[in-house]
């Protein structure tokens, strides 16, 4: 019998003590657990990692986003201070390429305040190395910590991998999908008891309300505008 990993053992302990775990919480733990979370404990990028992304393949990707950011800056009236924010900035490659392109506009480049939203201490150190020559730069655990004001928010392969609620419809009604422990002691998908129509409606209103405040990739934000509500970063394997 395969021995459980430390994270598997902890998740099973939580399920045994509190009951079946919603999918979003399972994903959150897989991704963001302080010691064992996938996106907290390692650098997942490159040949020695699990995947690569467009900014790591070609500098043109980030440079084009930098030029697009310049067009947004002009469109919103060329404010004297612009916050350039990146969510999940990896090794800092995309931001470095964007800033390289923005140097062609000195008034804009001088107005920039750089904000990186990153929970991974390993990647934060790599970002510091990549962006070592950049002035006026800050790191944050969540976008809520970024100061209000005119901003351009960039991300790549970020929103599509956030932890999610999963709801399934069966003959007995709507059920939230959960992770439980099966008779063999393995984690498996199941479904919570069916919801009343009132609870389904309340859940949908709650979810739509949260996501109406989500800033699309590359969106510009001004004071009083939208902010992103996020549970975590990345993707998670199914229970086994």
Each residue's pLDDT tens digit, 79-107: 999 999 999 898 899 999 999 999 999 99
pLDDT in tens, 130-180: 999 898 999 999 999 999 999 999 998 787 678 888 888 888 888 889 999
Treating both helix axes as pointing N-terminal to C-terminal, what angle do 6-18 and 23-32 enclose, rounded to 10 degrees? 150
Which position has the higher pLDDT, 60 or 219? 60
Neighbours of 64 (CB within 10 A): 14
Domain boundaries, the chain: 6-41+162-211, 54-154+213-221
Give the model's pLDDT for residue 170: 85
Please tell me the distance from the alpha carbon of residue 116 to that of residue 98, in angstroms, as a whole number. Answer: 13
Averaged pLDDT, 194-198: 66
Q: Is the pLDDT of residue 120 over 90?
A: no
DSSP sequence for 121-157: HHHHHHHHHHTTT-SSEEEESSGGGSPSSSEEEEESS
Of 163, 239, 173, 238, the closest CA to residue 207 belongs to 163
pLDDT in tens, 202-221: 766 666 655 444 333 334 44
CATH, range 54-154+213-221: 3.40.50.150
Averaged pLDDT, 180-192: 91
Q: Is the pTM of this model over 0.85?
A: no
Which position has the higher pLDDT, 28 or 47? 28
Backbone angles phi, psi at 234, to 5 degrees: 115, -165
Share of the chain above pLDDT 70, in %: 75
Give the model's pLDDT for residue 48: 67
Which position has the higher pLDDT, 223 or 83? 83
Q: How confident is the model at residue 234 (pLDDT cuts 50, 70, 90)?
A: very low
């Amino acid at each position: 019998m395969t021995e459980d990993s430390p994270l598997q053992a902890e998740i099973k302990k939580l399920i045994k003590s509190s009951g079946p775990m919603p999918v979003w919480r399972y994903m959150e733990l897989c991704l963001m657990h302080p010691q064992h979370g996938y996106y907290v404990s390692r650098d997942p990028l490159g040949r020695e990692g699990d995947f690569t992304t467009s900014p790591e393949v070609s500098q043109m990707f980030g440079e084009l986003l930098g030029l697009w950011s310049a067009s947004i800056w002009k469109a919103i009236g060329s404010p004297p201070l612009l916050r350039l924010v990146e969510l999940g900035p990896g090794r800092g490659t995309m931001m470095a390429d964007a800033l390289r392109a923005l140097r062609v506009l000195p008034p804009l480049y001088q107005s920039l305040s750089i904000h990186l939203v990153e929970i991974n201490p390993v990647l934060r150190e790599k970002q510091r190395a990549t962006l070592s020559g950049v002035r006026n730069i800050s790191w944050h655990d969540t976008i809520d910590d970024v100061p209000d004001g005119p901003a351009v928010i960039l991300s790549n392969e970020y929103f599509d991998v956030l932890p999610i609620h999963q709801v399934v419809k069966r003959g007995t009604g709507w059920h939230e999908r959960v992770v439980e422990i099966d008779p063999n002691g393995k984690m498996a998908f199941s479904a919570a008891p069916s919801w009343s129509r009132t609870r389904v409606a309340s859940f949908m209103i709650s979810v739509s309300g949260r996501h109406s405040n989500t800033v699309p990739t590359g969106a510009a934000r001004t004071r009083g505008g939208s902010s992103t509500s996020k549970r975590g970063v990345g993707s998670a394997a199914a229970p086994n």
